[in-house]
Amino acid sequence: MDLFFIPQRICWWRVLFLLSIFQDYLSNMLDCPPTCSCSPTEIYCNKSDNGISFPLFSLQDTGNNGNNSIEDLFKNITSIHIENWTGLQTLKEVDIELYTGLQRLTIMNGNLRVVQARAFSKNPHLRYINLSKNPLTTLSWQLFQNLQLLELRLEDVVFECGCDIRWIQLWLQRGEAGLQNQLLFCTTGASRIPLHTMNISLCDLPDISVTHSNLTVIEGDRVTVTCNGSGYPLPEVDWTVNDLHSINTHQSNVYWPKVHSINLTLVNVSRDDNLYMLSCIAENKVGMANASIQLTVYCIARCEPPPPPPLAPRRLSVPLVINDILVADLTVSKTPFIRRAFKTATQSRRTYNIRAVPPAILKLDEPERRHETCVEFTVRGNPQPTLRWFYKDKLISPSEYIRTDMDTYQDYLEGCLNFRNPTHHNNGNYTLEASNFLGVATRTVYGHFLNAPFSEGGCRVCLTVYLS
């Protein structure tokens, strides 16, 4: 029995020894603030302090230790609690930017008056913030816009009634961040009123609209889209175009008192921006609204002019090539896709080769019961094919009981013909037709939803009634 316990005893003392070495190493690198207690994951300060600075570890001489080790030590702090600090009046971005792993922050029962707009910009993991019992008079929603905040505590903070805190009233009404469980007040003159009863005119969330829901262009095009933000106060409006390859310019127009419009112009549209989501954001003191436009770019490859074809009575003035075949007949240009390609070729006075794909139905499955009953399909084609469904050779019109839902990825269409509560009357052949200017593809599947009532082996069951 003694031999059995000797290895465990040795391992335990080794662990204690290593822990003591690590604690010495930690204490040599960082010192806890004087009025606080610290652990590897928490800073807790509940003693009265009139210092004006946010509690920060003091760096010691670390010799050859790398900066990465120090950064990791700050990152490991997940909770900071500060209470009774009367000197801390302003919370700045630089105060907590090193604590990138911070999840809980409490600054309460102090003298905090201002929280700067980007104070939490380096703390994306914050889920709990407690600013109770501080003389804050206002607070911006933009502090929290990039946080997935679960709880915001503001008890015994008396704000100034006004448009600046209208967003708090809206959060109260929506039950966001636990505010609905708190009694919040604001002052108007000498009166203090419950915040949820505050009545502010000309102060609400902005409205937003864009000129397109989807935008289809040909590579090299120039196109302009407009985003309108309206409301009181007048919102700031802008397009977010991070990682957009196409050259773009923004033009702002303000129509007082409530409309702010932004024109986004894309120049020489790049094929690399196919399926890019153009997003517009409108912001004011109360909150934000956004709208998006999906950009579809048809690719065109420049090529050498092919040998001139025999003269035709209606030949195009500029060579236009579809899949390496010269288009000479204007009747083809009745297709909007070709008309736009021809316009691009004409303006640039160069030959263009359009890489087009005829429609193909890659998959058409039998009905499958999901949330609704789905006939799943996958179709490919460029330009995007037009889809039509037929039941027993009759065109299906969309309704609340039968409809098509689909998504687009590059030149693929994937989706379902959805049925709501189908019966045996819906049994039969369903044909999908996909068409673009290159041709038409069709495919048929038999849909069996329910057996006919009172049927057995395909024959109706007969009931005989005997009368006496």
pLDDT band for 316, please (50, 70, 90 cuts). Answer: very low
pLDDT at residue 335 tops 70: no
CATH of domain 357-447: 2.60.40.10
**Whether residue 397 has pLDDT greater than 60:** yes
In this predicted structure, which of 26-30, 239-243, 345-349 has the lowest mean pLDDT? 26-30
CB 306 within 8 A of CB 325: no
What is the band of 26 on the pLDDT scale with cuts at 50, 70, 90?
Answer: very low
| Sign of the dihedral defined by the CA atoms of residues 415, 417, 422, 428, in that order | negative
Question: Looking at the whole model, is its pTM more than 0.75?
Answer: no
Q: Where in the chain is CATH 3.80.10.10?
A: 27-156
* Contact call for residues 85 and 107 (beta carbons, < 8 A): yes
* Cα within 13 Å of Cα(244), Cβ side: 21
CA 124 – CA 144 distance, rounded (Å): 10
List, by residue range, all CATH 2.60.40.10 domains of the chain.
207-295, 357-447
Asked if 239 and 215 count as a contact pair (C-beta separation under 8 A), the reply is: no
Distance CA(449)–CA(93), nearest Å, equals 61
Q: Is the pLDDT of residue 464 over 70?
A: no
What's 27-156's CATH class? alpha beta
Candidate CATH numbers 3.90.1150.10, 2.60.40.10, 3.30.1390.20, 2.60.40.1260; the one for domain 207-295: 2.60.40.10
Residue % of the chain over a pLDDT of 90: 56
pLDDT greater at residue 271 or residue 314: 271
pLDDT of res. 123: 94
Segment 363-374, tens digit of pLDDT = 999 999 988 999
Q: What is the mean pLDDT of the chain?
A: 81
- Is the separation of the CB atoms in 267 and 282 below 8 Å? no
- Measure the CA–CA gap between 178 and 194, rounded to whole angstroms: 17
Tell me the chain's radius of gyration from C-alpha atoms. Answer: 34
Where do runs of H (alpha helix) occur along 247-381?
Answer: 336-348
Cβ proximity of 419 and 367 under 8 Å:
yes
User: In Å, what is the CA distance from 361 to each residue of 382, 394, 406?
Assistant: 13, 19, 14
Q: Is the pLDDT of residue 40 over 80?
A: yes
Query: Predicted confidence band at 68 (pLDDT cuts at 50, 70, 90)?
Result: low
Tokens of 263: 């024109």
C-alpha dist (Å) from residue 399 to 402, 406, 408, 418, 433: 5, 16, 22, 10, 18
Q: In angstroms, rounded to a whole number, what is the distance separating the alpha carbons of residues 156 and 109?
A: 9
